[in-house]
Structure 1
């Protein structure tokens, strides 16, 4: 993190720690039901009038849609590398000061990744609630629970909850398999009508389903019948959250003051961290949202942000946005900046071939074509160096692009050599990459992306095979 931060005045009053009921929901692997359990707990307590704040461990745009709907509050990411420990500490401390219950949903398996959900839990003293898909097991449930709890003896522990339970008899077998029956926090039934649907990038976003709230209420009803659902908040683990050493966004220079950034936001361009919008506001920018799918005109603006999303699911509709295409071309011709990440970049190419083999003509601001695949083409943490500043973030996509453009720079994995990540393409005032940026990791670099000052790339990149991505 390269933001210059002023230290608090030595004569100022120290910021008090906050104590709050809190838990981190984890699992032995992806697909066990972490989001369902987290959302059910959040919805159960929120509809009882409690103030609930939920966080998502690691980079994720889709689970937070459900968690925000369930809790009624924005959902931010926590990641010891991408967002940084100080940022995590600041967000947790602030949330604990205003909430009755704080829930963090883990990522992948409890010990997967570096840093992992377990690392986050241990760093901040968050007791782990382990969710295990028990639909095809009995006694092994106890072995899994014991292994998760004892693998790292210093890890705070809350208990274990079974998912996809066949019935009362099955639940009894699972509870009896535990070495410590007190660790049993209940089970959610299989096929109860509250499963959250998925597709190739993860969960279907809540706003795309007409029955999203009904699903959450059904999950909350099932959770209410479990031991943890019946537990009063004062019976939950109480966690003390210390303040961060400084408040970073209070000291961000207003490098984008007086500038308006137009941001595409709809079902095709929905991958926007709420924290990124906070950084733009702290930089002094005004934002104007528009929906390409709704036929909105491009707002009057100084710069454009085309976020990631699902352009491949809406390629036919996007191909008919003739007026918007012309407005984007005029914006670029005027030399005004465009930052396009992942799905936003895909929409700027000349052609997109969907998974069914259909080809769609898109907006043509970048030469080349994008092809969808059935397997992941990019996944993991990445960082992008822009002169003296470095943006952290990640990549996650199922497509590849073919273009005559020569990459102006590459993102990289933490600790790895350069050119191990995604290409950054520079075409006039357009900057485009599969890289998803976490703006708070470098407000200065963010301001550069939106035209506050010229972008200085770290080095010249020799000609390479641009068809590799």
Structure 2
């Protein structure tokens, strides 16, 4: 029989991307941690970079919530685990509140989580009220309050607050002289910002926060599912060792993917192609996740030990799963944003080139013998290859053709980022020689 836990929880959303959701969520998380609260943060929708920043801000792991990619049951299980460990749950929404199928609003309604609206108030005053009331009533959703970003003065904040009528102004954040740095796939990785903790502390300090309004927030009842009678996954990879590339060129990976591999019985070992590490000799399979190989073209092109070892592994029939940046590093060449062309490992014949416009974005699924493996795509490069795709992903929810999925010997490669918990049996097959 299931039970429940009551915990304060908010979904931080906005009218569109670019309003400051990540900045505000990070500031709020750091503020609450400094108030002595145990804070768990989630990211709605597929994302790799924002969770890294939010983990730094909160001091706790950040996982994904998405009703399609992750699924309702796993979303519920993750919320339940967080509720058992934390005083506060923050969920950063994706895009605008109602954008996408399913949307951030759908997630909020599914689990009864009130919405905290972030608005960019830099170029408005009283119109803020119309905007927020529209956000609340369109769905509708339960609106807990508003955090106004880029507020110019105390007077400006008072005008915004008055316009909200029955919706409280929960907090304000002033215009920042220095914003969180960005690049083509989103924010710069937190580890690349030398004073990231100082920056987060400054954001928390500048968040003018209504503690009385915080105390009035109603708790959310999170359902605690009964404990499973059997292990979640059969140990389909027991006794197998998977070598996972992990360094600044290869770090776009869902933590849940690693959890899934371990739950399947695999042992994980990590190595750095960027440091010219060879593929570990004990590896029964290799996982090359996405990342920023285009920022490290020269170093990867000179990583002779890495390139020789991945070619040897491929020649020996070792299963290699390469996603997005991992696939880019296995093409013949990679052209960076400046047009410099670098030699890569050459397992997938073809040339990758960066481009200024987005080449792929959105949720997608890959049909396998074990069912659909769900995930997403987000990239600015294109691969030109004569290799015929073995299959294509299907875009969600349009059901039209998505990313090419290549098989070259024991290599499977695509721009598609798979979310492993969506189909562990398919994942086990990908990393097994029997499927090569």
1:101·1:233 contact (CA, 8 Å) conserved in 2?
A: no
The TM-score, its normalising length taken from structure 2, stands at 0.96
Match of 1:206 in 2: 190
Match of 1:308 in 2: 290
Match of 2:332 in 1: 350
Tell me by how many angstroms 1:44 deviates. Answer: 1.4
Q: Distance in 1 between matches of 2:325 and 2:84?
A: 36
Q: Distance in 1 between matches of 2:323 and 2:93?
A: 25
Q: Distance in 1 between matches of 2:264 and 2:95?
A: 33
Match of 1:117 in 2: 104
Match of 2:206 in 1: 222
Q: Map residues 253-332 of structure 1 onto 2, 5 A cutoff.
A: 253-300=234-281, 301-332=283-314
Match of 1:460 in 2: none
Match of 1:36 in 2: 23
- CA deviations over 1:337-370 (Å, ceiling 9, x no partner): 0000000000000101112211111111111100
Q: Against the structure 1 CA distance between its residues 21 and 423, is the aligned structure 2 distance closer, same or farther, given a 3 Å change threshold? A: same
Match of 2:351 in 1: 369
Structure 1 regions of 5+ residues with no counterpart? 1-13, 456-469
Q: Distance in 2 between matches of 1:265 and 1:231?
A: 44
RMSD: 1.6
Match of 2:410 in 1: 429
Match of 1:458 in 2: none
1:23·1:237 contact (CA, 8 Å) conserved in 2?
A: no
Q: Distance in 2 between matches of 1:55 and 1:299?
A: 33
Q: Map residues 407-446 of structure 1 onto 2, 5 A cutoff.
A: 407-414=389-396, 416-417=398-399, 420-446=401-427
Match of 1:185 in 2: 170
Q: Distance in 1 between matches of 2:236 and 2:341?
A: 41
1:55·1:103 contact (CA, 8 Å) conserved in 2?
A: yes
Q: Distance in 2 between matches of 1:60 and 1:249?
A: 31
- CA deviations over 1:180-232 (Å, ceiling 9, x no partner): 2x511121000254x22111111111111111111111111112x321xx248
Match of 1:467 in 2: none
Q: Against the structure 1 CA distance between its residues 162 and 341, is the aligned structure 2 distance closer, same or farther, given a 3 Å change threshold? A: same
Structure 2 regions of 5+ residues with no counterpart? none
Tell me by how many angstroms 1:297 deviates. Answer: 2.9
Match of 2:73 in 1: 86
Q: Distance in 2 between matches of 1:18 and 1:269?
A: 37
- CA deviations over 1:161-190 (Å, ceiling 9, x no partner): 11011111221221222222x511121000
Match of 1:107 in 2: 94
Q: Distance in 1 between matches of 2:168 and 2:40?
A: 24
Tell me by how many angstroms 1:454 deviates. Answer: 1.9
Q: Distance in 2 between matches of 1:247 and 1:207?
A: 38
Secondary structure of the 2:402 match is coil
Match of 1:162 in 2: 148
1:254·1:284 contact (CA, 8 Å) conserved in 2?
A: yes
2:80·2:223 contact (CA, 8 Å) conserved in 1?
A: yes
Match of 2:10 in 1: 23
Q: Distance in 2 between matches of 1:308 and 1:214?
A: 28
Tell me by how many angstroms 1:233 deviates. Answer: 6.0
2:276·2:304 contact (CA, 8 Å) conserved in 1?
A: no
Q: Map residues 241-256 of structure 1 onto 2, 5 A cutoff.
A: 241-244=222-225, 247=228, 250-256=231-237
Q: Given the alignment, which residue of 29, 37, 42 partners 1:55?
A: 42
Secondary structure of the 1:376 match is coil
- CA deviations over 1:426-469 (Å, ceiling 9, x no partner): 001000000000000000001011116426xxxxxxxxxxxxxx
Match of 1:462 in 2: none
Q: Distance in 1 between matches of 2:215 and 2:209?
A: 17
Task: From the two aligned structures, give the one with the greater strand fraction.
Answer: 2
1:86·1:245 contact (CA, 8 Å) conserved in 2?
A: no
Q: Distance in 2 between matches of 1:231 and 1:218?
A: 22
2:320·2:412 contact (CA, 8 Å) conserved in 1?
A: yes
